[in-house]
Amino acid sequence: MRLLSWNIHKGIGGRDRRYVLQRIIDCVEAENPDIVCLQEVDRLVGRSRHDDQPRLLARWFRCHSVFQATVHVGGGTYGNLVLSRFPITSRHRISLCHGTRKPRGAQLLLVDSPEGTVHVVHTHLGLAERERHWQVERLLGHTLFRSAAAHPTVIVGDFNDWRNTLHAGGLAGAGFQQVTSPVSQFRSFPAWLPLGALDKAFVRGPLLVRQARIVRTSLTRVASDHLPLVVDFHLRPG
């Protein structure tokens, strides 16, 4: 199975500042993922021509979709979107809003893949390090997260974790392994000259990760301000 995670920056290029959603679509199609986790997806916002991006993307890829609006912008919203070729049997959204900082959230989905059920946790964390550690602790301790502990779990998204402190700061203690390591091989931001390994994946349970990589092409470098992360994995029997 293949999972792709990407902060698409509302479909606005990081350098040319042009809104071209088709560039995002073309980059995703080139990787042919089974599960797509996108951050900063607009719905009915002026900067992206009032497009309903979750609906447009779900229609284009003809797949199951779950959108989590986290931030209100004018008369619209933006947030996190999961697209899946496989049925989604359970879906939950939790708030990771910390004080007065920008609202953040996480999507907790059970995906019925041909290899078995996988717990996909998709998030976009805050800009402050203390905030991010609080958000990870809240996620790991949340009843909805803990209720899926029997399933193999993948946590992905834009973690904004410049110093790579989140794994040792709580995720490792909860049994998670960092897939996107060493960080020198997973620099994803800014897309045109990547310095920070902000887009990460962590796994727990009977999962075999075949490969993880950052997608560096001429198109991904201009389509957003982040580069996409791709993880190829299988569920181990039993």
The predicted pLDDT at position 238 comes to 59
Number of domains in the chain: 1
Residues of the chain with pLDDT under 70: 238
| 3-state class (DSSP) for residue 223 | helix
Residue pLDDT, tens place only, 184-233: 999 999 999 999 999 999 999 999 999 999 999 999 999 999 999 999 99
C-alpha 155/C-alpha 203 separation (Å) is 6
Task: Identify the domain containing residue 174 by its residue range.
Answer: 2-235
Partners of residue 207 on adjacent β-strands: 235
Among 93, 140, 86, 94, residue whose Cα is nearest residue 118: 86
The predicted pLDDT at position 176 comes to 98
| 3-state class (DSSP) for residue 51 | coil
| 3-state class (DSSP) for residue 200 | strand
Say how many residues make up the chain.
238
The predicted pLDDT at position 99 comes to 87
The predicted pLDDT at position 156 comes to 98
C-alpha 190/C-alpha 15 separation (Å) is 9
C-alpha 238/C-alpha 203 separation (Å) is 16
Alpha helices in 102-162 (DSSP H): 129-141, 143-146
Among 8, 61, 66, 62, residue whose Cα is nearest residue 38: 8
CATH number of 78's domain: 3.60.10.10
Among 69, 5, 14, residue whose Cα is nearest residue 42: 69
The predicted pLDDT at position 167 comes to 95
